[in-house]
Structure 1
């Protein structure tokens, strides 16, 4: 599920009828009206009741809604959050509040509903001990005012198999390994364990709830979101241990009597480079496929360089900012990740909610650990909490943000110093919408 509040691009403007609007957590018995409201909020036809699927992830206090009592108590806005873990540089799992299912009906825009739901949830998340909140923003201009900033990018490729010449023959692959196709039942059995191992190796990755695997393998379906069985294969090493997985579908298109099919990569997990090469070899060997399309495999993925002619790969047209992050506990979050170089920088942070507000000294050591503490020292860099969220995982550059007038250097070289401490060898990447 994604996040959206269609048409909300300005500040919330109170209306005299706001006293008729109630924002609160729903009960489990109210899931049917919440389910209908989310379809309306996402501008989707309501084709069936998804209550039973939503019941599997229901948690008291985490499903919010707005009710308009001037219209018989109709549900006009939805909001949901759940506890997740975010892998940060160094491999630690940060406890985060995952925000999703955010909608406001077009009849109730700019009446403060999103602000009330969001601020209530973030305050509760901070009390629970979440160090940050994350979401996927359907619209760019909504969530910055709540302290969220783009923290990862969705990045993929379209590869013309003929022009690229396919994969190079000299790529290393595991010795004694094998690739097997799985049934949906086998994916549910073996996929979660592999993902748990993989996500701790990839900064930016998040946990996949049990219901995720059920929805992705067709055991459960939400009305209106059609599921079709595709192809899932795993790589096993010489000892039989699963080290990678690829899930894809085939767009079956023919040019008269000639096949012109596209293979769409939907999930790609590999614990090591040779396993990844073996899985790509499978994708590029499928009969009738003329184009391999990987929608979201990360900015750092070397796929084009694996080809005989890298010019056969073009960036996917849907590349854009993906997961957004909002820091709730600055000292806790910065102590959790590791750093590539020792150093010290002082950040002057503004935060409308006050949680990250203040002057912070980030100090890192040669062993990769770091701490972030309040200080009275002069600051090197001034920025908002949204920009701090963009920098936290190391994907964004402070120098780039300074050039765009999103951060301000208070001392010459402050942005470059921040990049030296915060940037990572591998950019953070999250493959999962939520």
Structure 2
């Protein structure tokens, strides 16, 4: 049996996407979801593998700009819609799609590729490392209080229709992008993503609600959430399910969390995706009653090592030689001298003796500053070749705030 990999033709999108849905369980998405992904799909960045007239493999990417340490927005391919038919596993289809995709991304001049993994053990062999993590909380709001700093009492909260408040919410989100590595600039069309609200995604809760936080008539924060009523013989035990929350300043952020935890007839507040260093952890009166959990989120791989390392800034001055191994993208293999600091960096080929040895996977994990090189060395995945180089490099690669991916793709 032979298969053929080729670029996606727009007229084939429905058949291509049907195959993707089948690979992820066969449950059809709501019409509004499907229309959004169809509008956002770029056939030129998408491939299919065909066995005769049957699509048996899918893969695509979005053209993103990703915030990196130092605040720059760097072009990155957002790898997405990857699937292989259950009837065609273990035939090299995934490898062939990853090969084609990374070659194409390199040709486009995008130094990074990023993805969220349905199964974490799949993408390491293609050079992707876990670059960000996300925090989930389930606050027992019947027993936990939220402290607010000065200025919170000046914040006015009001309900608005999610669509009517979308422009203000998007402006607030846009203003926060440069503050944290891992965040994505939402270009045209992507502002529709936060407003998706199919009943299948509500967990039995209400349609999405939106509250704007205002000061002097200007929107300075917002929260989108669902209210999930629940009654027991003892009384109401409803849950608040947080979708998105952003604020321009600490007092506004605290005021929004206090509001969520004081909604009548509810006893819990749940959020699935916050930064691991979220200030919320310092606002609650009892963090043990907040059900804190951490899991992997964004996976990253440098497509062009020199361009990727030269695109970000570093916490402290750094000058070291990295001996990089990259079996899947051999153009990255070899020695690279990284010189830079808080104002920027340059990374170029060199024949000098190396200070550290690592694979491109570890470089991807450490790239946004959320995973330390020292931690990876402790797992035997980074080797120090010159005494003292590891500590200095680990410090330089760090970030003042934890990197975070605010939404999937």
Distance, in Å, in 2 between the alignment partners of 1:281 and 1:45 is: 37
The alignment partner of 2:246 has SS state of: strand
1:150-172 Cα deviation digits (max 9, x unpaired): 100011222212332x112x523
Q: 1:124 aligns with which of 104, 119, 124?
A: 104
- 1:234 partnered with 2:212: yes
Equivalence for 2:306: 331
CA contact (8 A) 1:28 1:55 kept: no
Pair 1:175–1:251, CA change in 2 (3 A)? closer
Equivalence for 2:261: 284
Equivalence for 2:10: 28
Pair 1:175–1:129, CA change in 2 (3 A)? farther
Pair 1:431–1:338, CA change in 2 (3 A)? same
Once the two structures are TM-superposed, the CA of residue 65 in structure 1 deviates from its matched residue by 1.0
1:365-412 Cα deviation digits (max 9, x unpaired): 4x5322222222211211000100001111001111111111112223
Distance, in Å, in 1 between the alignment partners of 2:30 and 2:376 is: 45
Q: 1:370 aligns with which of 336, 345, 356?
A: 345
Equivalence for 1:315: 292
Once the two structures are TM-superposed, the CA of residue 427 in structure 1 deviates from its matched residue by 1.1
Equivalence for 2:166: 188
Distance, in Å, in 2 between the alignment partners of 1:246 and 1:284 is: 12
Once the two structures are TM-superposed, the CA of residue 224 in structure 1 deviates from its matched residue by 6.7
Once the two structures are TM-superposed, the CA of residue 421 in structure 1 deviates from its matched residue by 0.8
Equivalence for 1:10: none
Equivalence for 2:186: 208
Equivalence for 1:163: 143
Q: 1:408 aligns with which of 380, 383, 387?
A: 383
CA contact (8 A) 1:364 1:421 kept: no
Pair 1:197–1:306, CA change in 2 (3 A)? same
The alignment partner of 2:49 has SS state of: strand
Distance, in Å, in 2 between the alignment partners of 1:372 and 1:101 is: 32
Once the two structures are TM-superposed, the CA of residue 215 in structure 1 deviates from its matched residue by 4.6
Once the two structures are TM-superposed, the CA of residue 26 in structure 1 deviates from its matched residue by 1.7
- 1:360 partnered with 2:343: no
Distance, in Å, in 2 between the alignment partners of 1:328 and 1:129 is: 9
Would you say how many aligned residue pairs link Structure 1 and Structure 2? 405
CA contact (8 A) 2:335 2:351 kept: yes
Distance, in Å, in 1 between the alignment partners of 2:55 and 2:315 is: 49
- 1:268 partnered with 2:245: yes
CA contact (8 A) 2:41 2:62 kept: no
Once the two structures are TM-superposed, the CA of residue 96 in structure 1 deviates from its matched residue by 0.5
Report 1:50-89 matches (<5 A).
Answer: 52-69=35-52, 73-89=53-69
CA contact (8 A) 2:319 2:340 kept: yes
Report 1:87-106 matches (<5 A).
Answer: 87-106=67-86
Equivalence for 1:4: none
Once the two structures are TM-superposed, the CA of residue 190 in structure 1 deviates from its matched residue by 2.5
Equivalence for 1:399: 374
Distance, in Å, in 1 between the alignment partners of 2:353 and 2:220 is: 49
Distance, in Å, in 2 between the alignment partners of 1:255 and 1:362 is: 61
Q: TM-score, normalised by structure 1?
A: 0.87
Pair 1:76–1:132, CA change in 2 (3 A)? same
Once the two structures are TM-superposed, the CA of residue 206 in structure 1 deviates from its matched residue by 0.8
Considering only aligned residues, what root-mean-square deviation do their CA atoms show, in Å?
2.2
Distance, in Å, in 1 between the alignment partners of 2:113 and 2:187 is: 17
Distance, in Å, in 2 between the alignment partners of 1:226 and 1:65 is: 32
CA contact (8 A) 1:41 1:77 kept: no
Distance, in Å, in 1 between the alignment partners of 2:71 and 2:192 is: 27
Structure 1: runs of 5 or more not aligned: 1-16
CA contact (8 A) 2:141 2:262 kept: no
Equivalence for 1:39: 21
1:404-425 Cα deviation digits (max 9, x unpaired): 1111122233321211111111
Q: 1:152 aligns with which of 127, 132, 136?
A: 132
1:275-310 Cα deviation digits (max 9, x unpaired): 211111211121122111121111111212212233
Once the two structures are TM-superposed, the CA of residue 83 in structure 1 deviates from its matched residue by 0.2
Once the two structures are TM-superposed, the CA of residue 256 in structure 1 deviates from its matched residue by 1.7
CA contact (8 A) 2:312 2:344 kept: yes
The alignment partner of 1:370 has SS state of: strand
CA contact (8 A) 1:360 1:374 kept: yes
Q: TM-score, normalised by structure 2?
A: 0.92
